Amino acid sequence: MKLAFFVDPLESFNLKKDSTMAMMVEASSRGHTIYAFCHQDIMLVEGKVCAQCQRIALTGRYDAGWYQAEGIQETVLSDFDAVIIRKDPPFDVNYLTAAWLLSLAEKQGAKVFNTADGILAHSEKLSIAQFQQFLKPTLVSADEDRLRQFHTQYQDIILKPLSGMGGMGIFRVQPDGLNLGTIIETLTANGQRHIMAQAYIPEIVDGDKRVLLINGKVVPFALARIPKLGETRGNLAVGGTGRAQPLTVRDREIAETLAPELASRGLFLVGLDIIGDWLTEINVTSPTCFREITDQTGFNVAGMFIDELEKVLSSSQH
């Protein structure tokens, strides 16, 4: 099969833990042909969505020479067996433009994973509101008074922007309310931008768990991202430590409830964030943690991903 990966620049990959690279390695080992393109490479030409795609061959190395470029060709996206969206946030105008073009490519016959429409319909922060039974108290607002009331009511809260990744811009405000006004002013741009407030979940000390869903199925291990000392964020990008562990009964309840529903909406790969017994985010743009789970447990997450991809593509060809 010909697989095209919509990615950030290949030289920016973190080779120790990149999930996209794990997908590419698995796909290549099965004889599939790998292509890559970035947001600036997508074009609409004579009514067709295409991209300047670089064919790459993997070398088996885990350094700057991990791939060899085998030429660039302009290809209509519907000519690939699959287009796999793996571009990281932020969900900015570049991401939006690419998603709109990929949505058009889907209408022209391209098979896109996750579907662009699925991604566009699911804010990674806001879409948790569709599953209230799994949420701690949550408020989304740009209004300072309302946000202050939420703090008064719940005393210990988390405030965070609705865009971004890797723990950027996340603040904990404890009962003393220290710097609450400044944090609200900064995050809301003086009342012009919505943010999310959530009741603090003390179980964060045991990790912010990433649970992966692939084609409506649940990966049996989570990666608990443990905050470093003095931090309230477990994100690996801000120094958290990843510990793979079996799912708890509650993890599985949440995951098995959401998995078929999200898959039916075109979300082939989803990363749920669960703290304690509570759902905090639904990541749909570029979920990670494949390598950490595989390295620590032996469960081949990338193998499951390519298995399910091959299954879907095979059934669509009949």
Q: Does 166 score more than 80 pLDDT?
A: no
Which pLDDT score is estimated for 317?
Answer: 73
Mean pLDDT of all residues in 53-78: 95
Number of domains in the chain: 3
Number of H helices and number of E strands within the chain? 8, 17
Active site amino acids: 125, 160, 210, 225, 233, 273, 281, 283
CATH of the domain at 42: 3.40.50.20
Q: Is the pLDDT of residue 231 over 90?
A: no
The pLDDT value given to residue 224? 97
Segment among 62-66, 103-107, 138-142 with least mean pLDDT: 62-66
Q: Return d(Cα 279, Cα 199) in angstroms, integer.
A: 12
- For 18-36, what is each residue's pLDDT tens digit? 999 999 999 999 999 999 9
Of 200, 224, 243, which one is at a domain's C-terminal end? 200
- For residue 302, the model assigns a pLDDT of 98
Residue 122: inside a domain: no
Predicted local distance difference test score (pLDDT) of residue 175: 97
Regarding whether 106 and 28 lie in a shared domain, the answer is yes
Judgement on whether residues 189 and 218 belong to the same structural domain of the protein: no
* 4-8, 197-201, 232-236, 270-274: least confident range: 232-236
Expressed as residue numbers, the domain containing 146 is 137-200
64 within domain boundaries: yes
- pLDDT confidence band for 240 (50 / 70 / 90): confident
Whether 234 has a pLDDT exceeding 70, the answer reads: no
Q: Quick check: 238 pLDDT over 80?
A: no
262 occurs within a structural domain:
yes
Which pLDDT tens digit goes with each residue over 111-137? Answer: 999 999 999 999 989 999 999 999 999
Beta pairing, strands 48-58 & 42-45: antiparallel
* Whether 50 and 154 share a structural domain: no
**Domain assignment of residue 141, yes or no:** yes
Bridge partners of 48, per DSSP, are 45
Which CATH number belongs to the domain containing residue 262 in this structure?
3.30.470.20
Q: What is the DSSP string of 4-40?
A: EEE-S-GGG--TTT-HHHHHHHHHHHTT-EEEEE-GG
Alpha carbon distance 87, 231 (integer Å): 27
